[in-house]
A = this chain, B = another copy of it.
């Protein structure tokens, strides 16, 4: 059974005690190491993951090995929507992008909970819609916005899922997420650092001036953030009237 910490999963913490209690015994707080693969294309999912401090990246790897992120999942969501959507698997994979923890729940239990049709079902569906927004936004973004814009968007989204203003990731990792060359990331990072917006050293990126990122990012960041807030807003309301998960 999970203990209460300051940083929790928004979906879980939105459940009223009556719905949460029966689940809690089956939630297992597991560590997630950087690079760990939660599921691979075409393989049936065994578990769903509700991140608390970890961030998971959903991405697709092309036949020629190129890859790019289609969406990220932090403590606002859940990894494994294919379980309740009915497909049990997907053509994309899920990889831990920022180490941390997540609550793990067995596949069949998530399905059962979803099919009970309670608040949990609503939450999962609303979150799924937010995820859809993110994916379609990224699709358009990849087509129309510059690397600098996309990278700022990505940093902001990641920052929102983390407590601190420092991200632990190499430029190479960022490049993989955005589906671009590592050199391109180096260039943009250098520019941002010279502008005093970020500072970095070997695998660490500190954000000094969030506003700077926001002006350099494309509209996509705001669209995605706004949509998550809108769709999960009553979630936060309920959180205060129930117990902290």
| Partner-B contacts on A (CB < 8 A) | 58-60, 62-64, 66-68, 70-71, 81-82, 84-87, 90-92, 115, 117, 122, 125-126, 128-133, 135-140, 142-145, 179-180, 218-219, 223, 227, 230-231
Contacts and interface: CB of A to CB of B under 8 A. Distances in A.
A188 to B, nearest CB: 16
A87 B144 contact: no
Q: Which 7 A-B pairs have the closest CB atoms?
A: A70-B136, A139-B139, A85-B129, A60-B140, A142-B142, A143-B179, A135-B135
Contacts of A144: 62, 64, 66, 68, 179
B58 A126 contact: no
A136 B73 CA distance: 14
Contact of A136 (B64, B71, B86, B145): B71
A85 B128 contact: yes
Given A87-B130, A87-B230, A140-B179, 11 more contacts: A60-B140, A67-B140, A68-B144, A81-B129, A82-B129, A87-B129, A92-B136, A117-B117, A128-B132, A132-B132, A139-B139
The binding surface of chain A is classed by DSSP as helix
- Copies of this protein chain in the complex: 2
10 contacts: A62-B218, A70-B139, A81-B132, A85-B128, A87-B227, A90-B132, A117-B117, A128-B128, A140-B179, A143-B179
A143 B68 contact: yes
Given A131-B132, A133-B90, A140 B68 contact: yes
Contacts of A70: 135-136, 139-140
A223 B126 CA distance: 26
